Amino acid sequence: MTPERHERIKQMLDKRQPDLTVCMEGVHKNHNLAAVVRTCDAIGVSDVHAVWKSEQMRVSGGSAAGSQNWIDVHNYTTTEDAIVELKKQNMQVLVTNLSPTAVDFREVDYTKPTAIILGQEKFGASQTALDLADQDIIIPMVGMVQSLNVSVACSVVLYEAQRQRKLAGLYDKARLSEERRQRILFEGGHPIFAKACNRKGLPYPQIDEEGQIVASDDWWQKMQMTKETWQDIDD
């Protein structure tokens, strides 16, 4: 891993917001899935939750442009399971929905731990999501249309959350655990070795301040490579 790449990954990790997330409920169009993940990465969201209607549906490629490699996706088969998990993390659960009880999305305090549910493209949020959410939110519109594309709505709300969090100083201090930082530094900076570890059942090594692997001789032997050979390749 080059020093430049290591520094860029560290800067990204320093801005991650582990208590801001979205939950895609039945979103199924690949370009929407990818665009939501890309926006989450840009905002500093570290985790995305998704309720899938089909086992074949998963986040992949498209306009995500590799963003999915830097975000943990948590999968569920029911909306209730997803919301229960989010509330266990003490998050306020918001759902985008046009209703008499909905408030302007800008009136919400996003400096609190927050999860935003994004409903399915055609039908919107389910009744279960509406029943279990703490608040419905709307994006005011003055044209003929009553709703935005799901990925566009996601961007609008998340950038308001980012604005509030920046003003509150939540982007000024690293907030991810050291264990998680180490995992991402290894997987993102040394992807070939990460795949080999998973294949061989080896634990991830530590990454030092320069982005180099710190591991025992036994680890290198099990990797079937010497540290010196790796350094020659890495250089």
Binding residue numbers for S-adenosyl-L-methionine = 96, 139, 148
User: How many Å apart are CA 27 and CA 188, to the nearest integer?
Assistant: 27
Distance of alpha carbon 37 from alpha carbon 65, whole angstroms:
9
Query: Minimal CA–CA distance to 48: which of 35, 63, 62?
Result: 35
Given a contact cutoff of 8 angstroms between Cβ atoms, the answer to whether 146 and 104 are in contact is: no
Q: Which residues are annotated as a binding site?
A: 96, 139, 148
Q: Which residues contact 139 (CB under 8 A, 6 or more apart)?
A: 96, 105, 148, 153, 156, 157
**Exposed / middle / buried, residue 73 (Cβ in 10 Å: 0-12, 13-18, 19+):** middle
